């Protein structure tokens, strides 16, 4: 299992990161967190308060991305949104 984290990942994001690490281990894939509080996001984005992470998808097949998202939703429950963006999966606490 491999989980890579860029700077900008804050303690409130640890629940999301732990779910991603467990999902990556179960699926035997590499998951890379590409954005925490860093980068440019929409006004009001949960990234800016440390409540959202983005995950790279370019290293995964479409089937793996779908399965990753389904497992993240299952692990995190209804208080979290898991959304496929153009080049990454965005996960945030509502």
Q: Which CATH topology does 2-93 take? A: Muramoyl-pentapeptide Carboxypeptidase; domain 2 (3.30.1380)
CA atoms of 69 and 38, how far apart (whole Å): 22
User: pLDDT for 38-84, tens place per residue?
Assistant: 777 777 777 666 789 999 999 999 999 999 999 999 999 998 999 99
Is this structure's pTM higher than 0.95?
A: no
Per-residue pLDDT at 25: 96
Question: Per-domain residue ranges for the chain?
Answer: 2-93
- Asked if residues 30 and 65 have their Cβ atoms less than 8 Å apart, the reply is no
Instruction: Identify the CA nearest to 20 among candidates 52, 47, 44.
Output: 52
């Amino acid at each position: 299992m491999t989980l890579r984290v860029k700077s900008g990942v804050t303690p409130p994001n640890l629940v999301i990161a732990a779910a991603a690490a467990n999902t990556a281990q179960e699926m035997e894939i590499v998951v890379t967190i590409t954005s925490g509080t860093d980068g440019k996001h929409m006004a009001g984005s949960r990234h800016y308060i440390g409540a959202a992470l983005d995950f790279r998808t370019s290293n995964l097949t479409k089937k793996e991305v779908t399965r990753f998202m389904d497992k993240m939703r299952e692990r995190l429950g209804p208080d979290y949104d898991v959304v496929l963006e153009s080049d990454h999966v965005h996960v945030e606490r509502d």
